[in-house]
Chain A
Amino acid sequence: MKKWVAAAAAAVMMTTGVLSANADNLVLPEGQTLPLGSEVNVWKGSQSFVGGVVEDFLGKEDLPNVLEKNIRETGVFPESDETSPHELAQLTARVLKNSRLYQLRSDVNDTFYTGLVISLPVSGNDMAQMLKLASAARMPEGHTSSGSLTEEEREAGSDVAGVVFDKAMTEWSQFLTVGEHSSWEDGVSSSGVPYSKAHANLVINQSGLLLPVYVGGFILKGDNGATYNILIADQTSGDYFGEIVDNALQEIK
């Protein structure tokens, strides 16, 4: 599972696409617009040379086949399960095609701030399928099998993902320190768009190499699914952009 998570994360990191972004607004793939103010510029990943190459790659018809092969190799699902790898590959290809990468930039107060935003729109149907596939996936060692999940747990949809997250946090605690952080907060914008947001300051310590990062998440909920957004930056830039994004969420259109 770890490999699958890493592969998906790497693919997401490389993902760029077409997006209409104005200088001061972050326009998300589903059209929601976050007004970031006059001091922030938004650069879209699709403008880059590599972004074009990645976009071509994601547009290839055989992408689901490539993903399916990789998923089977990672052993996410039991060998007897013939359909789940195929469904997950189709689902992943769909989500990656719609995902976007942006860089936020701001040169104010004699300081240059930058941060990355990764945006993943997931439809209601895709989310339902994702939860179904998560239940079919192998459970990490030391936990009950997915087959023994209660109906309530299945409906909650937090079963496998939660267990994997807990396990990952236990493993990562050796080299990951969580500093100042918030819990998930729900809100509704002035135009009636419901959202959730949270952030954390993390320090990754790998063999003496320290990498402090700010990770912020905001989820915009719609009638047909949700858009999951991650803001990654150094902690100083994260503090700066985090506050701007918080304000923009209240004004999202």
Chain B
Amino acid sequence: MKKWIAVPCLIWALGAGTAMAADVPAVPPSAAEAVEQDKEDARAIGPLDLNMADWYEQAGYLLTEDRLPDNTTFHSLMGTKSSGGLLAINKDGKTVTACVSILSPASDRTRMFMQGFFMPGDQMSIASSLEVMAFNRRLYRMEADANMMFLNTIKKFRTPETPIPYDLVTLSVNRIHPAAAMSLSPRIYDSDFRSIFVVDGFMIPVYSRLYLFKQGGEARLMILGSWDSDHELVKDTGDKIVKKLAQ
């Protein structure tokens, strides 16, 4: 099960990859000044190296009962200090589970940069919009990148005695919803994609959904992963949770 949890994280890591921008925009005092400051920051923007390492810090225990829909319970896999675990959703006599993890920026640099997504007046900085574009570009490249990685791994283990098929593991990513603002006030960004891992012919359809929002003065990244067949219910539940969490 733990491996299953790692899958959406891996997908996200592949998708997030690297992006652009160099200097972190400071938090501006007002909306008008923010726009002016943003213009100046934009001129100085260079490459940025945002990747999973910048997010590898578990947020606290945020998925408390009052923040969950009535038909949903949270089962932490990391004690009461983390929001990493499983959501169990009951509907029409069925139980559906989804892996969930809420992460915080792991460095001051990322923390500062993320403020650009939540500027006063519910605006987004130019640096942040470039980050979104970079993320989406990586999202569309994810399938090719992942399959290249799988192929290179298989080549390492393939021998004449054990002729592992080159296509033993492949990934097909389809139905991509690129990162965009799902709510303007408060600002919430979302993205999801539906992928199919084919492992030795067995198809494993997976649904992954991401939210970027601000909670407790801090940017948060919530990752959900489930079977594809449960995508509607998981999306609906995730949307409800993030709207309660976002400030």
Contact = CB atoms under 8 A, between A and B. Distances in A.
Interface of A: 43, 45, 47-51, 103, 105, 111-114, 179-180, 201, 203, 208-212, 234-237, 239-240
A112 B94 CA distance: 17
A45 B76 CA distance: 35
Given A112-B194, A208-B77, A211-B1, A236 B88 contact: no
Contacts of A237: 227, 229
A203 B95 CA distance: 8
22 contacts: A43-B202, A45-B201, A49-B164, A49-B165, A51-B200, A111-B228, A112-B196, A113-B229, A114-B203, A114-B204, A180-B94, A201-B93, A210-B75, A210-B88, A210-B97, A211-B97, A234-B96, A235-B94, A236-B227, A236-B229, A237-B227, A239-B94
A103 B168 contact: no
Nearest to B94: A235
Nearest to A47: B201
B228 A112 contact: yes
B186 interface: no
Interface centre among A203, A210, A237 (most CB of B within 10 A): A210
B230 interface: yes
B214 interface: no
A156 to B, nearest CB: 32
Nearest to A109: B232
B205 interface: yes
Given A201-B94, A209-B86, 5 more contacts: A43-B202, A50-B200, A51-B201, A105-B203, A114-B203
A244 to B, nearest CB: 14
B202 A48 contact: yes
Interface string B63-87: 0000000000001110000000110
Contacts of A180: 93-94
A7 B231 CA distance: 34
A234 B229 contact: yes
A147 to B, nearest CB: 42
Given A201-B95, A210-B97, A211-B97, A49 B230 contact: no
B96 A212 contact: yes
A49 B230 CA distance: 29
Q: Which 6 A-B pairs have the closest CB atoms?
A: A180-B93, A48-B201, A212-B95, A112-B205, A236-B229, A235-B94
Interface string B144-176: 000000000000000000001100100000000
A239 B227 CA distance: 14
A111 B231 contact: yes
A12 to B, nearest CB: 16
A213 to B, nearest CB: 9
Interface string B183-206: 000000000001010001111110
Contacts of A113: 229
Nearest to A203: B95
A176 to B, nearest CB: 12
A40 B30 CA distance: 57
Interface centre among B88, B164, B229, B233 (most CB of A within 10 A): B229
Interface centre among A180, A201, A208, A236 (most CB of B within 10 A): A236
Given A48-B202, A49-B164, A112 B229 contact: yes
B77 A209 contact: yes
Contacts of A234: 96, 227, 229-230
